[in-house]
Amino acid sequence: MAHRRSLLLGALAAPTFAQAQVAYPNRAITFLIPFAPGGGTDIIARALQPTLQEEFGGHAVAMENRPGASGTLAVAQLARARPDGYTMLMTTVSASAVVPPLLNPPPYDIYRDQTAVVLAGTVPLVAVVPLSSPAQDFEGFLAHARAHPGQLNYSSSGVATQQHLTAELLSSQAGLRMTHVPFRGTGQAVTEILAGRIDIAFDTLPTYLPHIRAGRVRAIAVTMPERVEWLPDVPTVAEKGFPGFDANVWYMIMGPGGLPPEIAARWVAGVNRALGDTSVRAKVRDAGFIPGGGSQQDAIDLLRRDAERYAAIMRTAGIRLE
């Protein structure tokens, strides 16, 4: 009789546990952003935020900018969080795939301590120079840099970020010597290049597109193999004498390691619903993003593929973190 009673109590308790699982979320969610406001990570997170809050029953998806250490401070904070879906992250290829393995010791394992959930978007990088630059085009900048070895500088949002890697790859292929000036986020870098204190930036298209359209900076090249729809008259680096040159930045939503599949599925559904909305999709594209979406497995595969690809690029270019 006692055994039968315990089974009955267990059966009655089971739905309560299941209902608790289904109830996610029942409070605000912290959405970590690994760079300062104003950059591409911040832009796409804010574009998706309203639809995600609707997806989660009106519970706040509260963005928290946590810049520093090339984006790895925010990812490390995520890695320490409980895998309950109440701490999530909008991350980049550099913060989650490129930089961590270069640190000694690595602050987190890129496969064990974070869970790839869904791709938010991808952007090309654009090379921009201040209006005060003597370079009117990409060839002009190369000539200017070669004529002043070691005197020109370029910005990035941190060591070994895509901005840094792209500039170093071009420098290696074109025989340039420039000084790297890392910032805690692209917002600071924008201020400096608008003021003419930075000679060139290879940065995300959404970050600079409003300034390009307003005539505040000069776009001289894009970094993907083909020209982009937003700047059809701006050539690619590849077509200007560097065949095969290809650099982009992806933005992905991550959870802590061990994030339950059912919670990941809610975020996948929310992002796909947001990017399927014509107004949100138009807003994302107008900002310079190629919309993401897809399955969680797509995100997992992309993380592994680019982690391996950029590790090979870093070895070839001899880029290290001291």
pLDDT of residue 153: 98
- Give pLDDT, residue 22: 56
CA-based max dimension of the chain: 92
| Closest residue by Cα to residue 124 from 68, 163, 177, 157 | 163
**What pLDDT, on the 0 to 100 scale, is given for residue 165?**
87
Q: Determine the pLDDT at residue 315.
A: 81
What confidence tens digit (pLDDT) does each residue in 90-118 have?
999 999 999 998 888 999 999 999 999 99
Q: Phi first, then psi: what are they for 275, rounded to 5°?
A: -75, -15
The percent of residues above 90 in pLDDT, for the chain, comes to 75
CATH numbers and ranges of domains, the chain: 28-123+248-317 (3.40.190.150), 135-240 (3.40.190.10)
Residue 20 has pLDDT above 50, yes or no: no
φ, ψ of residue 291 in degrees (nearest 5): -60, 145
210-232: average pLDDT? 96
Q: Specify whether the CB–CB gap between 65 and 35 falls below 8 A.
A: yes
Cα 207 from Cα 44, distance rounded (Å): 10
At 322, list the tokens: 């001291």
Pairing of strands 87-92, 152-156: unpaired
Q: What residue type is 248 in one-letter code? A: N
Q: Specify which residues 126 forms β-bridges with.
A: 203, 222
Q: Is the pLDDT confidence value at 313 over 80? A: no
In this predicted structure, the answer to whether residue 28 has a pLDDT above a threshold of 80 is yes
Across the range 292-312, mean pLDDT stands at 94
Scan for tokens 């701490």, then name that residue.
87
Q: Is the pLDDT of residue 9 over 60?
A: no
- The tens digit of pLDDT for each residue in 150-198 reads 999 999 988 788 898 899 889 989 999 999 999 877 888 999 999 999 9
The string of pLDDT tens digits covering residues 50-74 is 999 999 999 999 999 999 888 999 9
Of 305, 313, 311, residue with least CA distance to 122: 305
**Assigned token pair, 26:** 């029942």
* Mean pLDDT (whole number) for 30-42: 91
CB 111 within 8 A of CB 304: yes
Taking a C-beta distance cutoff of 8 angstroms, is the pair 144, 134 a contact? yes
Nearest-CA neighbor of 152 among 187, 185, 201, 189?
201
pLDDT band at residue 7 using 50, 70 and 90 as cut-offs: very low
Q: Is the pLDDT of residue 4 over 50?
A: no
Residue 1 pLDDT level (bands cut at 50, 70, 90): very low
Helices and strands in the chain, H and E counts: 11, 10
Confidence of residue 21 (pLDDT cuts 50, 70, 90): low
